[in-house]
Amino acid sequence: MSTLLRSAALLLCAGVTCAQAADEEKKWAFNVGAMYEIENVEGQGEDKDGLYEPSVWFNATWDAWTISVAMYQEGPVDYSTMTRGTYFDRPELELRYRFIGSDDFTFGLTGGFRNYSYHFKDDTGAKVGSANMQRYKIQPDWDIRLSDDWRFSGWFAMYQFANDLSKTGYSDSRVETEAGFTWTINETFALKTNYYLERGFNMDSSRDNGEFSTQEIRAYLPISLGSTTLTPYTRIGLDRWSNWDWQDDPEREGHDFNRLGLLYAYDFGNGFSTTLEYAYEWQNHDEGKNDRFHYAGVGFNYAF
């Protein structure tokens, strides 16, 4: 699986050169933006139980080709000292080709690569090592018109992880997908209901670290109000388990979870757009205390 993903990603990257030589009259379309996301656990303000993820991105589209470059950072926040981990240590490159593109049917394929850098510290803040891991990705996506009011769309990502997996705790393989139906009620309201799955597993039978499974029903109600779009949404947990603590406890831990959220998007009409999002999630664990999460995100984008 690793060889397949890497080869496919390289073939997609090689295709950009071919596309440029084939048609010099096509015009590029660009997007550049940034986002800041946080997720905090109630009652844990002086512990490292908050997560943050700043990111920046740049996308360029030319006819059926889209190339995307992004930089991410995800890590714990120590609110007692207002310190965080290193910034922007997860660069990512993706390339998508749209094989079919029409109002009735769209099909695309994305190949991607992301590098993960880790800098570990002990309880006193002293450095205790580092890790450098890579992720390879292949992802088909589709959108099918079923009728004037109904569409079926989604994506299916296949990941392969390599290097320092014993340090990071990741499994060597993962699949992730979200797919479902959209019902356009009228020009203002629509209803979208998706099934979501993320599953980490090991192709190497001698390893069992980092395996997990998450299944959800995700429902969205986008409300279009001119330049403003409000999207209330919910995530209903069907099943979640993990064994991230495989070194101390090889048993899988189950989780019961649900989320309610609201996404606000505004288009300024001059290429600029912005989003604001808030969500509340509650989790009940088989082991340990139950958690209540607050998620917030703000993003900006400029298209030109």
To which residue do tokens 């403003």 refer?
Answer: 228
Length of the chain: 304
**Which CATH number fits the domain that encloses residue 189?**
2.40.160.40
Please give the average pLDDT of every successive group of 10 residues along the chain, which has 304 residues: 47 46 72 94 60 91 97 72 63 98 97 90 74 95 98 98 90 97 98 97 85 95 97 95 62 82 97 98 79 93 97
Residue 58 counted as domain residue = no
**Signed CA dihedral, 117, 51, 159, 254: sign only:** positive
Residue 26 counted as domain residue = no
Residue 29 counted as domain residue = no
Strand partners, 288: none
- Domain carrying residue 285: 37-51+99-106+113-303
Whole-number Å distance between alpha carbons of 247 and 259 = 30
Residue 25 counted as domain residue = no
Domain count, the chain: 1
Residue 201 counted as domain residue = yes
To which residue do tokens 């190339």 refer?
Answer: 67
Residue 10 counted as domain residue = no
For residue 179, the model assigns a pLDDT of 98
Residue 270 counted as domain residue = yes
Whole-number Å distance between alpha carbons of 242 and 248 = 13
**Cα-to-chain-centroid distance, residue 234:** 17
DSSP 252: P
**Cα-to-chain-centroid distance, residue 227:** 26
Residue 202 counted as domain residue = yes
Proportion of the chain in helix, strand, coil states, percent, rounded to 5:
10, 65, 25
C-alpha distances (whole Å) from 35 to each of 52, 112, 148, 254, 256 are 11, 20, 34, 31, 28
